[in-house]
Amino acid sequence: MASCLFCDIAAGEIPATQVHADEDFVAFRDIDPKAPTHVLVIPRRHVTGLDRLGDDDVDLVGRLLVTATRIASAEGLTGGYRFVINCGDDGGQTVHHLHLHILGGRAMKWPPG
Ligand code: 5GP
Ligand code: ZN
């Protein structure tokens, strides 16, 4: 597999401000935050994106969401937050390792750009 930025961050080979780590997931602050709180949650396993998930990944995705809600809570986002998963070019995905954005600390607008 070609090198992957988020695999390298999960392995600790590229520095990031980590806010959570467990056996399956790592979360760290986005380098270019779009909100006062902007955390990325990734599975340690390299999965390119939502469009590459299969039936075997249902548990992984469920736990990704639940893990993210716990991180949002730990970040003190009591007023609410937004989860975003961009997929593919039209979805605005720039890093091809599945990641969930936690955005919070301000009121979000709708629709997104
Ligand atoms: P995407 O556009 O693929 O949904 O999101 C990729 C995110 O990764 C962007 O919000 C971008 O700011 C963030 N990002 C890109 N490179 C790095 C990096 O080296 N470190 C961290 N912490 N975030 C990064
Ligand atoms: Zn990767």
CA torsion 55-59-61-65 (nearest 10°) is 150
Which residue, judged by its Cα, is nearest atom 20 of ligand 1? 31
| Active-site entry in 20, 46, 96, 99 | 99
Q: Is the CB of 86 under 6 A from ligand 1?
A: yes
Q: E strands along 1-113, which residues?
A: 18-21, 25-29, 37-43, 81-84, 100-104
Dist. CA 57 → ligand 1 center (Å)? 23
Predicted TM-score (pTM) above 0.95: yes
Question: pLDDT per residue over 44-66, tens digit each?
Answer: 999 999 999 999 999 999 999 99
Residues 20-27 have a mean pLDDT of 98
Model confidence at 1: pLDDT above 80: no
Domains of the chain: residue spans and CATH: 5-104 (3.30.428.10)
Categorize the per-residue pLDDT at 106 as very low, low, confident or very high, splitting at 50, 70 and 90: very high
Categorize the per-residue pLDDT at 28 as very low, low, confident or very high, splitting at 50, 70 and 90: very high
Which residue, judged by its Cα, is nearest atom 24 of ligand 1? 31
